[in-house]
Chain A
Amino acid sequence: DQQVKQNSPSLSVQEGRISILNCDYTNSMFDYFLWYKKYPAEGPTFLISISSIKDKNEDGRFTVFLNKSAKHLSLHIVPSQPGDSAVYFCAASVSQAGTALIFGKGTTLSVSS
């Protein structure tokens, strides 16, 4: 049973527009959420995170929103750039000793110029 779900396998956006990637989770114990970006033939790289005590975290063009009641988070990229084209993974964890990150299946973002 998937604990972290990314229901959109792919997303296509034009350069300059907003990209919104969504993620849902089922485990109410999760209290730390991360987004990773992955290019082909490379390892995932950390992008941005949010703790459950916040509902928004912003870093440059990237903003993550968390809706705890809906068990939903989203990543907004504004403006989108062709270099943002990659697979984006949502991950979640329980912030206590002995737990690991649980990942969703990923969403492939394509930004066209």
Chain B
Amino acid sequence: NAGVTQTPKFRVLKTGQSMTLLCAQDMNHEYMYWYRQDPGMGLRLIHYSVGEGTTAKGEVPDGYNVSRLKKQNFLLGLESAAPSQTSVYFCASSRLTENTEAFFGQGTRLTVV
């Protein structure tokens, strides 16, 4: 049982380049989330999705776009990477039911130079 899988695990981008981070879950969860973790800042919500075809902004959505074309996948896009987007990105998923925990992927370490 793979759970939540993030691709890639590491990436170095030049300023202005674009890329897409892929998150896949095999637990048939309705909810999926993208967080970023920065030193001293904890986990901050970027965007999330409550179902296929729906997305919503979180705390720090600027500079990112997302898509949820399939229930099991949640894509995070950076159209024009900036050094401020250097971070560790975590994807998570959870069931629709109330009072349930979210399951996290292993993270993607992104460096923008």
Contact = CB atoms under 8 A, between A and B. Distances in A.
Contact of B98 (A36, A91, A95): A95
Interface residues of B, number: 28
B69 interface: no
B99 A100 contact: no
Interface string B52-66: 000010110000000
B24 interface: no
Interface stretch (A12-20, A63-71, A72-80, A102-110): A102-110
Contact of B35 (A32, A46, A97, A103): A103
Interface stretch (B14-22, B39-47, B78-86): B39-47
Contacts of A6: 42
B42 A106 contact: yes
Nearest to A32: B99
A interface majority secondary structure? loop
Contact of B101 (A9, A34, A41, A43): A34
Interface of A: 6, 9, 32, 34, 36, 41-46, 49, 51, 89, 91, 95-98, 100-106
Given A101-B94, A105-B41, 11 more contacts: A6-B42, A41-B106, A43-B4, A43-B107, A98-B50, A100-B33, A100-B45, A102-B45, A102-B59, A103-B35, A103-B44
Interface of B: 4, 31, 33, 35, 40-45, 48, 50, 56, 58-59, 90, 92, 94, 96, 98-99, 101-107
